[in-house]
Structure 1
Amino acid sequence: MRISEVYGSETTAIAEARRLASGFFGRVHTERALAVSAHAVETTQLVVSELVTNAIRHTTGPCRLDLELIDHAVDITVWDTSPAVPDVPAPDPARVGRHGIEVVLALCGALQVTQQASGKQISVRIALEPLPA
């Protein structure tokens, strides 16, 4: 199961992306009879929010969000128009802002950056804790 949406550079895209993630899990429950924990849904929404926020703040073009259910995990991929690889600064609790990639890494363990002809894609995987249907 897969769902995609393209966003412009408006900050409202962040909330729209979070709603897409929530709706995705509604479809997972309805179409696959797989109930997913609230923790997994909230983690996915946070990761989606961070990745889409970065795409909007650090690029000039649209971005696309893909969510795909694979076994008991969700693959999250965000495409944007910047070829720049995200900066992962050293942890600094005194730093204000620029913690998004740190948050994503803490929640997902790793991220994959793939250069594209007109930008890049960033992919992560979140393991889901399925509940009995």
Structure 2
Amino acid sequence: MLKTRPEAGVMDVDETAGRPDRFGPGLVAASAVFQGSEKIADARRLARSFLDEAQALHGLQISARAVHVVMVVVSELVTNARAYAPGPYRLALELQDGCVEVSVGDSNPAPPAILPHDPLRIGQHGLEIIIALAKSFHIHQEAMGKRLTASILLSDRHWRPSDAD
């Protein structure tokens, strides 16, 4: 099972919790609460371990493109949580319908600013990149803040470069 370093926070693993599991028994979701002082690489390591275990335990075919996209999405969402929300944040990963859903929840209820495409702007392109690479992107208001979720296709079979335009 996935483990995190003690300073990376609390790890929760959902082993289907009574839900039907189309990937077979075992790990289908993982999450960790980070206090905000950890390196962003710790969040990427959690995501990479999750994807590696999904491949090893469930025999899922996860494309190299999908792994790279998940790493970018985790980096961008965690960077935003650290920059704009006080306190801890939660990273969650879940396998669902041929995708991995990457969610980051934080304590700031304000939705992020999704700026229009501007190649001359310096910085603040993270959400623009996520939206271009993800199958879907959603902002969920929660009682104690918000949760940003990007859904990434595991296979290249249904992904076309034109989808990212």
| TM-score, shorter chain, exceeding 0.5 | yes
Structure 2's unaligned 5+ residue stretches are 1-27, 158-165
Q: Give the share of equivalent positions with the same residue, in percent.
A: 41
Partner of residue 99 from structure 1, selected from 125, 147, 153? 125
Which TM-score applies when normalising by structure 2? 0.74
Note if contact 2:135-2:153 (Cα within 8 Å) is conserved in structure 1: no
Using CA pairs under 8 Å that are at least 6 residues apart, name the structure with larger relative contact order, 1 or 2: 1
Tell me if 1:37 matches 2:63.
Answer: yes
TM-align CA RMSD: 1.5
SS in 1 for 2:75: helix
Tell me if 1:3 matches 2:30.
Answer: yes
Which TM-score applies when normalising by structure 1? 0.91
2: distance between equivalents of 1:64 and 1:10?
Answer: 13
Query: Could you say which structure has the higher helix fraction?
Result: 1
Tell me if 1:26 matches 2:46.
Answer: no
Deviations 1:60-102 (A, max 9, x none): 1110010001132101111100001010111111111111110
* Segments of 4+ moved more than 2 angstroms: none
Report the AA paired with residue 126 of structure 1: I
Larger-gyration structure (1/2): 2
Deviations 1:13-70 (A, max 9, x none): x111111111111110111011311111010110011001000000111100100011
